[in-house]
Amino acid sequence: MVEETTDIGVAQRFLEDLAVGMSDRSSRAVAENDIERFAEVSGDHNPVHMDEEFAAQTQFGSRIAHGMLTVSFISAALANRLPGPGCVYLNQSLSFRAPVRIGDTVTVELVITNIRAIRHRVTLSTVARVGETIVVDGEAVAFVPSRA
C-alpha cells in the first residue's frame, strides 16, 4: 500500500514530469443522487441500483452503485490528477471485486508502474477501495505528451 499522496492540481503534465512509483490518492463519497444521475446518463435503471426493496432480496442485500460509477472516479483521477490534464486515455482493464453502496467513500489510488518514453505510454495501477476492501482494480495506459 502506497502511503504518499500527491496533489497535482490542474497544470498540464508532461512525460518529463513523471516517474515510475509516483502515486496519487483521492476520495469521493457516493450519494443516492450520484446513482440516480449515473442511471440517467448511462441508461442503466436496473432495480438492484434503483429499488431498495428489490435489492434487499438479491445477493447484495441493499442497493448498490453501478460498477461504472466507481470506474468514472478512476477515469476522473487519471484526467485530473495523475498523469493529469493533457493525457489521452488509451486502455483500461477492470475487475469488479465488491459492491459500493450509498454512503460509501471510494478512494482511488493510482501508481505509475511503467513508462515507455519513446511511445509516450504511461502505465498505472488503478485501485478503488471502500475502507480496506478493494472494490475495483485494474491497469490503465495513457499517452502523455513531451514538453519538447
Binding site for its own copies (CB under 8 A): 28, 34, 37-38, 40-44, 46, 59, 66-69, 71-73, 75-76, 79-80, 85, 88-96
Report the residue number, 3 or 53, with the smaller CB distance to its own copies: 53
Our CB check for its own copies shows the closer of 115 and 136 to be 136
**Who's near 68: CB < 8 A, 6+ residues apart?**
38, 42
Closest to 22 (Cα-Cα) out of 1, 35, 6? 6
If the CB atoms of residues 67 and 115 are measured against its own copies, the closer one turns out to be 67
Q: Are strands 105-116 and 23-29 parallel, antiparallel or unpaired?
A: antiparallel
Let me know: does 82 contact 37? Beta carbons within 8 Å. Answer: no
Q: How far apart are CA 18 and CA 116, in angstroms?
A: 11
Minimum distance of its own copies from residue 32's CB (angstroms): 12
- For residue 57, the minimal CB distance to its own copies (Å) is 12
Minimum distance from residue 143 beta carbon to its own copies (Å): 10
